[in-house]
Amino acid sequence: MKNIRNFSIIAHIDHGKSTLADRFIQHCGSVSDREFKDQLLDNMDIERERGITIKSQTICLPYQAADGQQYVFNLVDTPGHVDFSYEVSRALAACEGALLLVDAAQGIEAQTLANLYLAMENDLEIIPVINKIDLPAAEPEKVALEIEEDLGLEAERIQLCSAKTGKGVPELLEAIVKYLPPPTGDPDLPLQAMIFDAQYDSFRGTIISCKVANGRVKAGDQISFCSTGRSHKVEEVGHFRFKKEPAKELAAGEVGYIIAGIKNIADAQVGDTITLKENPCAKPLSGYQPAKQVVFSSIYPVSTEDYEDLATAMEKLTLNDASLTFQKDSSSALGFGFRCGFLGLLHLEVVQERLEREFGLSLILTVPSVNYHVYLNDSTMVEVDNPAYYPDPGSIQRVEEPYIKATIMIPERYMGAVMNLCMERRGVNSNHHYPMPGRIEYTCELPLSEVIYDFYDRLKSLTQGYGSFDYEILDYRTGDLVKMDLLVNGERVDALSQLVHRDNARARGLSACEKLKEEIPRHMFKIAIQAAIGGNIIARTTVAAMRKDVLAKCYGGDITRKRKLLEKQKAGKKKMKTVGNVEIPQSAFLAVLKSDDS
């Protein structure tokens, strides 16, 4: 066990985690040059297209140290985006140490700090690594000073490397052997193994990724899950090499996979403890803190026949993505679907794309919203995350909305633009300080509902991509919130309702009406598109009618002949308007979600 090292690579977005993992894999000779490709561990199409890591991936590497001893490295590559920080926290629970990567040109950024705190909460040994030292703009000495002063990490541990060229990688591997501790645990105690990930294989059932804390497990053992008490017979155990590699057994301190023919997805919960049925452990390991969903949206299938397929797909996806929650929902406009909780808008986009690609579904999403606390006149409190369930305004005493503390790291020259953006979004209690010359750390308290709409996109465009953003949930505060409905031809469309601040309601309503006007095709009668708060119309646009030229045959003669034909047409249109249905295309629901290009 003393020759095992379990560690993870953590950093801000685009600081080179996946590239460094590639160099480690190549240096340890786990993959032949013919099989190698960049970002080897990013195996989802969506990860390779976007150039980001979404799922943390584990790989087991054999390493021959300079002293001649053979070591086993269990490396976990983690995501950098704040929406996937739950993946990082789960990966860190399976490790004893972490490499904290910092870009030699960019320096310390918002997620660098957030991930460092996560690692400290898990009592991990940390090796600071300055990456990208081959860049012309690299300033490793300045960044080393930042790491020492701002993060309080030891200067003598700092390693310099370039993951792209491979410079400094051999020294870094030696530092892992020297500084990171081996796992602790006793292979002779009853089995205790923590599930930190799982995926569904249509041939072999649920494949569990786990870290063995105590004891050992091998094929043929009867394992049981502490939370459900269900037991299964182990078919295969093994390690994550480039492919899954079967092994005789998994002993204390090792990270690997277990296949036990688990058909029911609900049995393998992430954070659960596995033990042996005949010789169970005294108590389960402490699991993970449940993820706090902050953005809620409903997902509906375009075709109602796909509802069962969507239900199966959601179950399989939550097995692989434990931070996603869902429950059944229905809408008069869109039929049956699911109300889902996400960790952010990028998480929502990724889940939508995974459902469409991996399961071949066509989906509609409703406007994202957050969880509001509504206090009624009889002093009871109800939680509302769906505008459809917003109580009658007459019965409401006050409404509280969640606030976040946003930490934004920006170059000095963008300070004015970012301050304006935060003030537009009802930001309060803002302050700033200079962690280093030329860079500002700006903190501000914002309502979460203003951030989920398009805040991150606006921040990126205002700062030309240099701004980094991290947030934590603070508390709930009273706000003047109203429910805004959208009416098409006098009919309320429940899937387009939104909860908005009264001051922003008219602007948001006008914008939604204009977008719907572009998407709804013209009919034979005029269509009014209105935004309303209760009985008050606050914005309106009209889709003009298509007109048949009834005067084409009527040339010359008295004016009354023309008027008679026009009156007849007018009466026909009036009748059509009362009985005609307006078809709202699927693209209209998505158009309302998109923010203005401004």
Point out the annotated binding site for GTP.
14-19, 131-134
Evaluate whether 294 touches 473 at the Cβ level (below 8 Å).
yes
Alpha carbon distances (Å) from 107 to 112, 130, 151, 433? 9, 9, 12, 16
Distance between CA atoms of 526 and 549, rounded to whole angstroms? 16
Residue 3 carries which DSSP code? T
Element (H, E) at 326: strand 325-331
Element (H, E) at 19: helix 17-27
Q: What angle do CA 266, 272, 275 make, to 5 degrees?
A: 110
**Residue 254 burial class via C-beta count within 10 angstroms: exposed 0-12, middle 13-18, buried 19 and up:** buried
Residue 578 CB contacts under 8 Å (≥ 6 apart), including other chains: none
**HSE toward the beta carbon, residue 98, CA cutoff 13 A:** 29
Distance between CA atoms of 593 and 538, rounded to whole angstroms? 19
Distance between CA atoms of 291 and 36, rounded to whole angstroms? 35
Which amino acid, one-letter code, is at 279? N
105's tokens? 């040109």
Return the bridge partners of 99, or none.
9, 127
Distance between CA atoms of 79 and 149, rounded to whole angstroms? 26
119's tokens? 């690692």
Q: What angle do CA 449, 384, 307 make, to 5 degrees?
A: 95
Q: What is the CA radius of gyration of the chain?
A: 29
Evaluate whether 53 touches 77 at the Cβ level (below 8 Å).
yes
Distance between CA atoms of 118 and 296, rounded to whole angstroms? 25
Annotated binding-site ranges: 14-19, 131-134
Distance between CA atoms of 236 and 572, rounded to whole angstroms? 73
